[in-house]
Protein backbone atom coordinates (compact mmCIF):
# COMPACT_ATOMS: atom_id res chain seq x y z
CA UNK A 1 0.00 0.00 0.00
CA UNK A 2 2.83 2.41 0.85
CA UNK A 3 4.45 2.22 -2.61
CA UNK A 4 1.04 2.83 -4.19
CA UNK A 5 0.44 5.88 -2.00
CA UNK A 6 3.89 7.22 -2.81
CA UNK A 7 3.23 6.80 -6.53
CA UNK A 8 -0.07 8.68 -6.22
CA UNK A 9 1.66 11.48 -4.34
CA UNK A 10 4.32 11.79 -7.04
CA UNK A 11 1.63 11.92 -9.73
CA UNK A 12 -0.28 14.60 -7.82
CA UNK A 13 2.83 16.76 -7.42
CA UNK A 14 3.71 16.31 -11.08
CA UNK A 15 0.22 17.41 -12.11
CA UNK A 16 0.37 20.49 -9.89
CA UNK A 17 3.89 21.51 -10.90
CA UNK A 18 3.04 23.27 -14.21
CA UNK A 19 0.44 25.40 -12.43
CA UNK A 20 2.92 26.39 -9.72
CA UNK A 21 5.58 27.17 -12.31
CA UNK A 22 3.12 29.29 -14.28
CA UNK A 23 2.08 31.25 -11.19
CA UNK A 24 5.71 31.96 -10.36
CA UNK A 25 6.49 33.07 -13.90
CA UNK A 26 3.60 35.54 -13.99
CA UNK A 27 4.53 37.01 -10.61
CA UNK A 28 7.59 38.77 -12.06
CA UNK A 29 7.04 41.34 -14.82
CA UNK A 30 8.81 40.99 -18.15
CA UNK A 31 11.81 43.29 -18.68
CA UNK A 32 9.87 45.56 -21.06
CA UNK A 33 6.61 45.53 -19.06
CA UNK A 34 4.86 48.32 -17.18
CA UNK A 35 2.65 46.51 -14.68
CA UNK A 36 -1.12 46.93 -14.28
CA UNK A 37 -1.99 49.37 -11.52
CA UNK A 38 0.66 51.89 -12.60
CA UNK A 39 -0.66 55.47 -12.38
CA UNK A 40 0.51 58.40 -14.49
CA UNK A 41 -0.64 61.89 -15.48
CA UNK A 42 -1.66 63.02 -18.97
CA UNK A 43 -2.84 66.32 -20.43
CA UNK A 44 -5.80 66.49 -22.82
CA UNK A 45 -5.14 68.02 -26.22
CA UNK A 46 -8.84 68.44 -27.01
CA UNK A 47 -11.93 69.75 -25.24
CA UNK A 48 -14.53 67.13 -24.31
CA UNK A 49 -17.96 68.52 -23.41
CA UNK A 50 -21.08 66.47 -22.68
CA UNK A 51 -23.17 69.10 -24.48
CA UNK A 52 -21.41 68.63 -27.80
CA UNK A 53 -19.37 65.41 -27.67
CA UNK A 54 -20.81 62.09 -28.77
CA UNK A 55 -19.79 58.45 -28.55
CA UNK A 56 -16.96 57.66 -30.92
CA UNK A 57 -15.41 61.13 -30.92
CA UNK A 58 -11.62 60.84 -30.96
CA UNK A 59 -9.20 62.78 -28.77
CA UNK A 60 -5.49 62.87 -27.97
CA UNK A 61 -3.48 63.39 -24.80
CA UNK A 62 0.19 63.74 -23.88
CA UNK A 63 1.90 62.09 -20.93
CA UNK A 64 3.26 64.46 -18.27
CA UNK A 65 5.56 62.08 -16.40
CA UNK A 66 8.00 59.34 -17.41
CA UNK A 67 6.60 55.83 -17.68
CA UNK A 68 9.22 53.27 -16.66
CA UNK A 69 9.23 49.58 -17.56
CA UNK A 70 10.59 46.81 -15.34
CA UNK A 71 14.09 46.95 -16.86
CA UNK A 72 14.36 50.71 -16.26
CA UNK A 73 13.61 51.78 -19.83
CA UNK A 74 11.80 55.11 -19.62
CA UNK A 75 9.15 56.51 -21.93
CA UNK A 76 9.73 60.27 -21.51
CA UNK A 77 6.95 62.83 -20.98
CA UNK A 78 5.22 63.98 -24.14
CA UNK A 79 4.25 60.54 -25.44
CA UNK A 80 1.06 60.84 -27.48
CA UNK A 81 -2.03 58.86 -26.48
CA UNK A 82 -5.03 58.29 -28.73
CA UNK A 83 -8.49 57.59 -27.38
CA UNK A 84 -12.20 58.03 -28.00
CA UNK A 85 -15.38 58.86 -26.14
CA UNK A 86 -17.05 55.61 -25.16
CA UNK A 87 -20.36 56.95 -23.83
CA UNK A 88 -22.04 60.26 -22.94
CA UNK A 89 -25.02 61.02 -20.70
CA UNK A 90 -26.16 64.64 -20.89
CA UNK A 91 -27.37 66.40 -17.75
CA UNK A 92 -30.78 67.37 -19.13
CA UNK A 93 -31.59 63.67 -19.60
CA UNK A 94 -30.33 62.27 -16.30
CA UNK A 95 -29.97 65.30 -14.02
CA UNK A 96 -26.22 64.67 -13.76
CA UNK A 97 -23.89 64.52 -16.73
CA UNK A 98 -21.63 61.48 -17.13
CA UNK A 99 -18.82 60.61 -19.51
CA UNK A 100 -16.72 57.50 -20.14
CA UNK A 101 -13.40 57.61 -22.02
CA UNK A 102 -11.50 54.79 -23.71
CA UNK A 103 -7.75 54.95 -24.33
CA UNK A 104 -6.69 53.09 -27.45
CA UNK A 105 -2.92 53.26 -27.89
CA UNK A 106 0.25 55.15 -27.01
CA UNK A 107 3.22 56.13 -29.18
CA UNK A 108 6.50 54.52 -28.05
CA UNK A 109 9.96 54.17 -29.66
CA UNK A 110 8.71 50.77 -30.86
CA UNK A 111 5.66 52.32 -32.54
CA UNK A 112 2.04 52.53 -31.42
CA UNK A 113 1.30 50.11 -28.58
CA UNK A 114 -2.14 49.10 -27.23
CA UNK A 115 -3.06 51.01 -24.07
CA UNK A 116 -5.72 49.64 -21.73
CA UNK A 117 -6.20 52.27 -19.03
CA UNK A 118 -8.93 54.01 -17.08
CA UNK A 119 -9.38 57.51 -15.70
CA UNK A 120 -8.71 57.42 -11.96
CA UNK A 121 -8.88 61.13 -11.10
CA UNK A 122 -9.16 64.64 -12.54
CA UNK A 123 -6.78 66.55 -10.24
CA UNK A 124 -7.72 70.11 -9.40
CA UNK A 125 -11.22 70.02 -10.89
CA UNK A 126 -13.74 69.97 -8.05
CA UNK A 127 -16.92 70.24 -10.13
CA UNK A 128 -16.53 66.64 -11.31
CA UNK A 129 -15.51 63.34 -9.78
CA UNK A 130 -14.39 59.95 -11.03
CA UNK A 131 -15.92 56.64 -9.93
CA UNK A 132 -13.24 54.02 -10.58
CA UNK A 133 -15.62 51.20 -9.60
CA UNK A 134 -17.89 52.15 -12.51
CA UNK A 135 -15.35 51.84 -15.32
CA UNK A 136 -13.81 55.26 -14.72
CA UNK A 137 -17.12 57.12 -14.90
CA UNK A 138 -16.61 60.90 -14.94
CA UNK A 139 -19.64 62.69 -13.50
CA UNK A 140 -20.75 66.09 -12.30
CA UNK A 141 -20.62 66.39 -8.51
CA UNK A 142 -24.10 67.87 -8.12
CA UNK A 143 -27.46 66.51 -9.27
CA UNK A 144 -29.59 69.28 -10.74
CA UNK A 145 -32.74 67.25 -10.24
CA UNK A 146 -32.15 67.18 -6.51
CA UNK A 147 -31.41 70.89 -6.57
CA UNK A 148 -34.59 71.43 -8.56
CA UNK A 149 -36.68 69.57 -6.01
CA UNK A 150 -35.17 71.58 -3.18
CA UNK A 151 -35.82 74.81 -5.10
CA UNK A 152 -39.40 73.73 -5.76
CA UNK A 153 -40.02 73.06 -2.08
CA UNK A 154 -38.64 76.45 -1.10
CA UNK A 155 -40.64 78.20 -3.82
CA UNK A 156 -43.80 76.42 -2.73
CA UNK A 157 -43.46 77.89 0.73
CA UNK A 158 -42.90 81.36 -0.69
CA UNK A 159 -45.81 81.04 -3.09
CA UNK A 160 -48.14 79.86 -0.37
CA UNK A 161 -47.25 82.67 2.03
CA UNK A 162 -49.77 85.29 0.78
CA UNK A 163 -52.65 82.82 0.92
CA UNK A 164 -51.65 81.65 4.36
CA UNK A 165 -51.45 85.23 5.59
CA UNK A 166 -54.94 85.89 4.21
CA UNK A 167 -56.17 82.58 5.62
CA UNK A 168 -57.27 81.54 2.13
CA UNK A 169 -56.48 77.87 1.61
CA UNK A 170 -57.29 77.94 -2.10
CA UNK A 171 -54.96 80.86 -2.80
CA UNK A 172 -52.26 79.27 -0.65
CA UNK A 173 -52.45 76.00 -2.55
CA UNK A 174 -52.49 77.76 -5.93
CA UNK A 175 -49.54 79.93 -4.99
CA UNK A 176 -47.58 76.94 -3.73
CA UNK A 177 -48.23 74.97 -6.91
CA UNK A 178 -47.26 77.82 -9.25
CA UNK A 179 -44.14 78.61 -7.26
CA UNK A 180 -43.05 74.97 -7.13
CA UNK A 181 -43.57 74.28 -10.84
CA UNK A 182 -41.84 77.49 -11.91
CA UNK A 183 -38.81 76.83 -9.69
CA UNK A 184 -38.56 73.18 -10.72
CA UNK A 185 -38.67 73.94 -14.43
CA UNK A 186 -36.12 76.74 -14.09
CA UNK A 187 -33.67 74.69 -12.03
CA UNK A 188 -34.00 71.35 -13.81
CA UNK A 189 -33.55 72.88 -17.24
CA UNK A 190 -30.05 74.07 -16.33
CA UNK A 191 -28.33 70.73 -15.76
CA UNK A 192 -24.66 70.58 -14.82
CA UNK A 193 -22.80 69.41 -17.89
CA UNK A 194 -19.17 68.22 -17.88
CA UNK A 195 -16.54 70.18 -19.76
CA UNK A 196 -13.02 68.77 -19.81
CA UNK A 197 -11.18 71.69 -21.34
CA UNK A 198 -8.03 71.38 -23.41
CA UNK A 199 -4.97 70.99 -21.13
CA UNK A 200 -7.04 69.36 -18.37
CA UNK A 201 -4.93 66.88 -16.41
CA UNK A 202 -6.17 63.31 -16.05
CA UNK A 203 -4.68 60.62 -13.84
CA UNK A 204 -4.79 57.24 -15.58
CA UNK A 205 -4.32 53.77 -14.16
CA UNK A 206 -3.19 50.83 -16.28
CA UNK A 207 -5.64 47.94 -16.39
CA UNK A 208 -3.42 45.73 -18.56
CA UNK A 209 0.35 45.56 -18.96
CA UNK A 210 2.01 48.03 -21.30
CA UNK A 211 5.07 46.79 -23.21
CA UNK A 212 7.84 48.86 -24.76
CA UNK A 213 11.63 48.98 -24.86
CA UNK A 214 13.99 46.03 -24.81
CA UNK A 215 12.47 42.53 -24.99
Q: Is residue 178 part of a domain?
A: yes
pLDDT digits (tens, 9 = 90+) for 65-120: 999 999 999 999 999 999 999 999 988 766 789 999 999 999 999 999 999 999 99
3-state secondary structure the chain: CHHHHHHHHHHHHHHHHHHHHHHHHHHCCCCCEECCCCEEEEEECCCEECCCCCCCCEEEEEECCCEECCCCCEECCCCEEEEEEEEEECHHHHCECEEEEEEEEEEECCEEEECCEEEEECCCCCCEEEEHHHCCEEEECCCHHHHHHHHHHHHHHHHHHHHHHCCCHHHHHHHHHHHHHHHHHHHHCCCECCEECCCCEEEEEECCCEECCCC
For residue 163, the enclosing domain spans 144-188
pLDDT digits (tens, 9 = 90+) for 40-57: 999 999 999 999 999 999
Q: Is residue 172 part of a domain?
A: yes
Of 25-29, 73-77, 121-125, 131-135, which one has max mean pLDDT? 73-77
pLDDT of amino acid 197: 95
**Mean of the pLDDT values across residues 9-15?**
48
Same domain? For 78 and 152 the reply is: no
Q: Is residue 158 part of a domain?
A: yes
Confidence of residue 136 (pLDDT cuts 50, 70, 90): confident
Amino acid sequence: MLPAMAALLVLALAAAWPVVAQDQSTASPAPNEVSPGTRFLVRLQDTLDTQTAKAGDQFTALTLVPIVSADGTSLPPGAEIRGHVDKIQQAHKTGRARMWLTFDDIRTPDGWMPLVAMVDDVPGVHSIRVDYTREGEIEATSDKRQEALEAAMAAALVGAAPGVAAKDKKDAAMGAAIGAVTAYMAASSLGQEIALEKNTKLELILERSLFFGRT
